[in-house]
Structure 1
Amino acid sequence: IESTITIDSSASKVVGRGQIVKAPKTKNSYRTIYIHETLKKELLNYYISEKTKYNYNIKNHFVFGGIKMIGFSTLDRRFKKYKEKAKVSDMNLHGFRHSHATMLLELTNDIYNVSKRLGHDNMETTEIYLHSNSKAQKDLSDRIEAEIQNIIITNSFKTLKDNLQKILLQEITKNMYNNNEINSIMSIYEYVNKVM
């Protein structure tokens, strides 16, 4: 309803107990994050179809697995199948978290809020994604260079325009031109003055 997901548990494999749901690792791991409208609709449609399937009798429900949590090995097998089908490079499921963090930091430099969204204890952990993203670093460098070049070009043009205006005004004040020539110089001056 609020377009949020609350993270208050974590799936984990514990020796001697198997796969369990337990409390998150740290205090910051407990969090509520906003989701976009497309994901909200997908999850809502899935939830409604599952409630209908189980006669509206659902206490706990897992996005992967249904009323019972899917096994990690089954999830890995399915993930491998879809990676092969999509012909994408190899990565593990945790790679989605890394991709998400990298994309967020490419879209914004808001390390604080990205850190909160990921549930990191400190922003230094989040900065690893920023430092490891060479594409974002190169893009940033290219944007800085483009801005510098724009300033140089703008300043060069402004200097040229200022010099032209000064020369034209000096020429107008001289008594060596007839009226037609002065009108022509004034037209040139006004044209230069209009140019950005």
Structure 2
Amino acid sequence: MASFRKRGSYWEYRISYVDRRTGKYQLKSKGGFKTKKEAELAAAAEKIRIEERGFAENGNETITVYMEKWLEVFKRPAVKLNTYLVQERTVRRNILPRWGNYRLKDITRTEYQGWINELREKYSEGTVRRIHSIFSSAINDAIHEFGILRGNPLQKIKIAKDESEDAGKIKFFSVEELNRFLAVCVPAKHAKYQHSRHYTALFTLLARTGLRIGEALALTWDDIDLVKGTLSVNKTLIYPLNTDPRVTTPKTKSSIRIIKLDPETVRVMKEYRLNQKETILRYSFKRSELNLVFHQQDGRWLRINVVREYMKEVCRRIGLPQLSPHALRHSHAVHLLEAGATIKYVAERLGHASIKTTEKYLHVTQKIEKDALALYEQYVR
């Protein structure tokens, strides 16, 4: 309810309302309006803002209450599900345990900087920057979207850089290392399912197409044309925390693409398609109702963490760096560029939204520079 009164030459409005979380009455007032009409219009606008945001005034909201609503109102509708889940998990695991009981206005730059310093002792620079980015973004919205905070104490925070030798380096296999790895991606000597070759096919496909692991695990046989030698990427598999896996649209619009398969990959996938049928019959596996290219014994999707651990085990077995499946995507990009492929082609093949993402691979190999200088020397002779 709004009331108005004239104080001297100016008008003032007063709005009383019930806070929806505490059930207590709140009062908001503002003066300095030249006419009653101006005060009425301003009061009407403020009532709308109060109803929309539903937060306590002047930063009295607790971080827990604010962050939960911020995620629901601003993040869930605006970003891909997987991105939202990463942000939600970061808030729940990292931000709320430390700041949940604080009010928004209680955060100080000094205390926050100390917390960032503590995080940096436990986590990598990239992880700390992600945590900070999410929290700072939420505080900015408290200022500019909800109007419940005047300033952002999280600005100009210093995050110690990672000075280690491998910091920021793209991890990939050389051609020789990749060939060694793929040659032993078969069941170990005493493994239960000796006949299965699904890991051979999976890692070969990742290494020779640059697919993301989620894109590969979401594939059905309908997505692969082994006659034309093409593969369609139109979905990806994600594993939301504590819920069943689900298939969703790819990371970006540019991720939807058709990839040309080289003859060796076509050969491997043809052999695997036959091997998959034989394996299902031999071990009484359940057939995939979704016609999945890669699946578990029960016909459901392979789990990303299981694939990751298997890859590390193979790397340990033959003395290679213990890289993740994403390193096979990096390897494919580097090998394409070393072979002379253009940046534009590699960007389109990998489904990068920007060529700038692809350009990072130019800095990880000396072969490109060496070949370029050799071509230059030959040209100017």
2:235 pairs with 1:9: yes
Aligned residue for 1:60, secondary structure, equals: coil
Aligned residue for 2:347, secondary structure, equals: helix
Question: Between Structure 1 and Structure 2, whose CA radius of gyration is higher?
Answer: 1
Q: Which residue number corresponds to residue 78 of structure 1? A: 310
Q: Which residue number corresponds to residue 132 of structure 1? A: 364
Q: Which residue number corresponds to residue 69 of structure 1? A: 301
Alpha-carbon distance in 2 for matches of 1:35, 1:6: 11
How big is the shift at 1:3?
0.3
Alpha-carbon distance in 2 for matches of 1:119, 1:46: 25
Q: Which residue number corresponds to residue 270 of structure 2? A: 44
Q: What is the correspondence of 1:54-133 to structure 2 with a 5 Å cutoff?
A: 54=280, 58=288, 59-63=290-294, 65=296, 67-133=299-365
How big is the shift at 1:147?
4.4
Alpha-carbon distance in 2 for matches of 1:73, 1:124: 29
Alpha-carbon distance in 2 for matches of 1:132, 1:99: 10
Alpha-carbon distance in 2 for matches of 1:54, 1:80: 26
Structure 1: any 5+ residue segments left out of the alignment? 152-196
Q: How many residues align?
A: 149
CA RMSD, aligned part only?
Answer: 2.4
Structure 2: any 5+ residue segments left out of the alignment? 1-226, 282-286
Contact 1:62 1:69 in 2 (8 A): no
Q: Which residue number corresponds to residue 183 of structure 2? A: none
Query: Which has the higher mean CA deviation after the structures are superposed, 61-70 or 4-13?
Result: 61-70
Contact 1:62 1:68 in 2 (8 A): no
Letter in 1 for 2:322: D
If asked which structure has higher relative contact order (CA below 8 Å, sep 6+), I would say 1
2:249 pairs with 1:23: yes
> TM-score if structure 1 supplies the norm length?
0.66
> TM-score if structure 2 supplies the norm length?
0.36
- Looking at secondary structure, tell me which structure has more helix per residue: 1
Contact 2:230 2:259 in 1 (8 A): yes
Q: Which residue number corresponds to residue 33 of structure 1? A: 259
Contact 2:312 2:323 in 1 (8 A): no
Alpha-carbon distance in 2 for matches of 1:13, 1:44: 28
Contact 1:10 1:24 in 2 (8 A): yes
